[in-house]
A and B are shown apart, each in its own frame.
With several copies, the nearest count.
Chain A
Amino acid sequence: MAITIRLEPENLQPDAELRAFITSLNGDGAVVSFTGLMRPTSKEGEALTGLFLDHYPGMTERSISDIATDAAAKFAVEDILIIHRCGLVLPGAAIVFVATSSPHRRAAFEAADYLMDRLKSDAGFWKREDTATGSHWIEPTAQDAKDKERWSNIHAGN
C-alpha cells in the first residue's frame, strides 16, 4: 500500500507518470488512470487563455492527502497516485492525474472515480479562469457537490 501525492507547479506529463506508476507496482493486475485536461472554453462558452490554480502550501497537500487516505480506506486498492497542477495551466494541458492499482479492476475503477469526485469538490485550490478580456475566480458547482454525494451512502461499512 503506497499513497503518493504531488503538487506540480510546471508541467504534468500523464504518460511519464503512468509509466512510473506501473513500474512501481508489485504484481497488481489492474491500473486505472484519470487525466483531467484544461478545456479551452469556460462553462459559459468563453474562450479561455489560461486557468490559474492558487494553493495554500501545506493545507492544499493535506486536503489531497486526506482524500487519498479516505479512498484507501473505502476501496481494496493497493497504490494511489495523485498529481495536481498548481499555478498557471494553459488550454489542453493536464490539470490532474490520478492512478490507482489493485489486484482486480473493480476496486481500481471505483477508487479513481471516487478520488476525482472528492478532488473536484474538496481539494484546496482557488481557480481563476483567464480570458482575453479579463478573469474571474470560480467556486464549486452544484454538480460537484452532487458527484461527491454519490459516495456518502455506499460502502458505509467498509
Chain B
Amino acid sequence: MAQQKIYFFGRLAEQLGRSREVEMVEEPITIRDLRVALAAQAVDFADALVDPRVRACVDGVIVTDDALVRAGQEIAFIPPLSGG
C-alpha cells in the first residue's frame, strides 16, 4: 500500500496543514472514491473532502471526480479560487 502526499491550499491549508501523508488503499482510483477512502482515514479532513466545492488537482491541473489518479502523482485538494 503506497504512501501518498496530499496537498492543500488556501483555507484548507490553514485548517489541515500544507500536506498530509495518507495511504493509497487502491490504485488507480477515481477522485470520487479517493475522497471516501481518505475521509475514513483522516477524520479531521472528512468535511473538506465531501464538500463538492472543494476540487481535486492532479499534477497541477483541476480534474473532475471521475478522473483516475495513481500513487506518485501530485494530488491536491483546493477550495474555490479567490482570483488575483
Is residue A124 contacting chain B, with contact meaning CB distance below 8 A? yes
Q: Which listed residue, A56, A122, A127, touches B7 by the CB 8 Å rule? A: A56
Number of residues of chain A lying within 8 A (CB) of chain B: 26
CB contacts under 8 Å to B, within A88-126, are 95-96, 119-126
Give the total number of A-B pairs whose CB atoms are below 8 A apart.
62
What is the chain B residue whose CB lies nearest that of A124? B81
Contact of A96 among B10, B78, B84 (CB under 8 A): B84
**Also in contact, A56 and B9, with CB within 8 A (given A62-B60, A137-B79):** yes
Q: Could you tell me the distance in whole angstroms from the C-beta of B29 to the nearest C-beta in chain A?
A: 21
B57 touching A126, Cβ below 8 Å: no
Residues of B within 8 A of A137 (CB): 10-11, 14, 79, 82
Mark out the residues of chain B between 46 and 84 whose CB falls within 8 Å of any chain A CB in the assembled complex: 57, 60-61, 76, 78-84
Assess A120 versus B57: contact at CB under 8 Å? Given A54-B10, A126-B10.
Answer: no
Q: Are A125 and B60 in contact (CB under 8 A)?
A: no
Tell yes or no: B13 within 8 A of A by CB: yes
Interface residues of B (CB under 8 A from A): 7, 9-11, 13-14, 57, 60-61, 76, 78-84
Interchain Cβ contacts under 8 Å between A and B, 27 examples: A54-B9, A54-B13, A55-B9, A56-B76, A58-B60, A84-B84, A96-B84, A122-B81, A122-B84, A123-B81, A124-B81, A126-B9, A126-B78, A126-B79, A126-B81, A126-B82, A127-B82, A127-B83, A128-B10, A137-B79, A137-B82, A138-B82, A139-B80, A139-B82, A140-B80, A140-B81, A140-B83
